[in-house]
């Protein structure tokens, strides 16, 4: 008879606390689970009158959905991860010996529920309301920007065509096919308050008016937004726009002249404020691995962006939130 190892008996010796474990423990503490569950619960399926398998708890499915976003997992990969990774089952509140784990169809239906009820938008709003209540999200200034997110350009698929809602655009000397994520972030904290998803060929400036919340006094943008104040849709915005000087004009400044030196210093200060908008992009692309769209169509991918930026806000504010939780 084969002797049972310590690992198989449940007495494995843990010698290191992994970064993944540390991350999930922090998220367990700082995500406003109760508020988010209250948001989704009225729309969630209930046990049928004729019996059958009861649906999984809303919080369980929400935790599974967030695991997907944090670790960039497809529906089938998430199902397999629940079987393979005890840490994920523990985080989701599933019994370690549970034989009935959510399958990929159950995970898919929960995502469709969020999309159809536009709950991803409300998830971002709920997270931001929590951050605002804790003094982390101010409304004095906004920074606007956009980033490209690639989509599969190959036509070697069942339809023989690329996603018709995605388009190509040229940036520098390189062509990109996919969509754009336009965001408005708090100029002080860098936390995202507004998200708009468009095809990649949509000009950044056309979405600028949709990225402000109306209560800010100042809006900061890069040189791609030159002329934004002259657009019809921005005329009703009372905030003062601080748009970067075009790089060629800035390079032409004569730093030996006091006036030009002062202009360059103002541009440097504006650039330091605009840098805040790059942080959320870095989090979703590098921390969460979202460098390519997962679904077909803008609606589904934009819904995912709302969730990703809500989670990026929590991740960026986690240290302050943890101090408040532990105080």
pLDDT for 17 equals 84
Which CA distances in Å does 317 have to 145, 282, 312, 322, 324? 20, 15, 8, 9, 11
State percent of the chain over pLDDT 90. 83
End-to-end CA gap in the chain: 53
Residue 14: pLDDT band (50, 70, 90) is: low
Q: DSSP alpha helices (H): ranges in 85-226?
A: 86-92, 104-116, 119-133
CB atoms near residue 72 (< 10 Å): 16
Averaged over 253-260, what is the pLDDT?
94
pLDDT higher than threshold 60 for residue 12: no
Per-residue pLDDT reduced to its tens digit, 108-127: 999 999 999 999 999 999 99
CB atoms near residue 119 (< 10 Å): 20
Confirm whether pTM is higher than 0.85. yes
pLDDT higher than threshold 80 for residue 6: no
195, 174, 282, 241: CA torsion to nearest 10: -50
Residue 139: pLDDT band (50, 70, 90) is: confident
d(CA 265, CA 164): 45
pLDDT for 184 equals 98
32 closest CA partner among 68, 54, 53, 63: 63
pLDDT higher than threshold 80 for residue 132: yes
Per-residue pLDDT reduced to its tens digit, 72-84: 999 999 999 999 9
Which CA distances in Å does 74 have to 66, 174, 293? 12, 29, 11
150 strand-pairing partners: 178, 292
Domains, in order of start, for the chain:
17-116 (no CATH), 139-296 (3.30.420)
Averaged over 223-239, what is the pLDDT?
94
pLDDT higher than threshold 70 for residue 87: yes
pLDDT higher than threshold 50 for residue 5: no
Averaged over 128-156, what is the pLDDT?
92
pLDDT for 11 equals 46
């Amino acid at each position: 008879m084969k002797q049972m190892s310590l690992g198989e008996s449940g007495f494995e010796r843990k010698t290191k606390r992994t970064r993944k474990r540390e991350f999930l423990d922090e998220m367990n503490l700082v995500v406003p689970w109760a508020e988010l569950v209250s948001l989704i619960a009225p729309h969630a399926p209930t046990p049928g009158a004729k019996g059958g398998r009861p649906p999984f708890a809303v919080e369980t499915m929400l935790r599974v959905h967030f695991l997907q976003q944090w670790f960039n997992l497809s529906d089938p990969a998430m199902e397999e991860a629940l079987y393979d990774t005890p840490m994920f089952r523990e985080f989701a509140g599933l019994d370690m010996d549970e034989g009935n784990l959510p399958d990929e169809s159950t995970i898919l239906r929960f995502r469709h529920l969020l999309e159809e009820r536009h709950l991803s938008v409300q998830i971002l709003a709920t997270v931001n309301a929590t951050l605002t209540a804790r003094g982390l999200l101010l409304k004095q200034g906004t920074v606007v920007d956009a980033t490209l997110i690639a989509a599969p350009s190959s036509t070697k698929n069942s339809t023989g065509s690329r996603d018709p809602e995605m388009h190509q655009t040229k940036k520098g000397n390189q062509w990109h096919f996919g969509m754009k994520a336009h965001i408005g972030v708090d100029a002080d904290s860098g936390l995202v308050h507004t998200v708009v998803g468009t095809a990649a060929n949509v000009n950044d400036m056309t979405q600028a008016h949709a990225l402000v919340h109306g209560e800010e006094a100042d809006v900061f943008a890069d040189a791609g937004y030159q002329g934004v104040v002259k657009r019809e849709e921005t005329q009703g915005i009372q905030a003062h726009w601080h748009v970067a000087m075009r790089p060629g004009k800035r390079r032409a400044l004569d730093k030996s002249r006091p006036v030009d030196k002062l202009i360059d210093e103002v541009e440097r200060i504006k650039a330091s404020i605009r840098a805040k908008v790059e942080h959320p992009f870095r989090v979703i692309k590098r921390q969460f691995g979202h460098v390519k769209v997962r679904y077909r169509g803008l609606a589904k991918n934009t819904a995912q962006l709302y969730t990703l930026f809500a989670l990026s806000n929590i991740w960026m504010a986690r240290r302050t939130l943890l101090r408040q939780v532990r105080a």
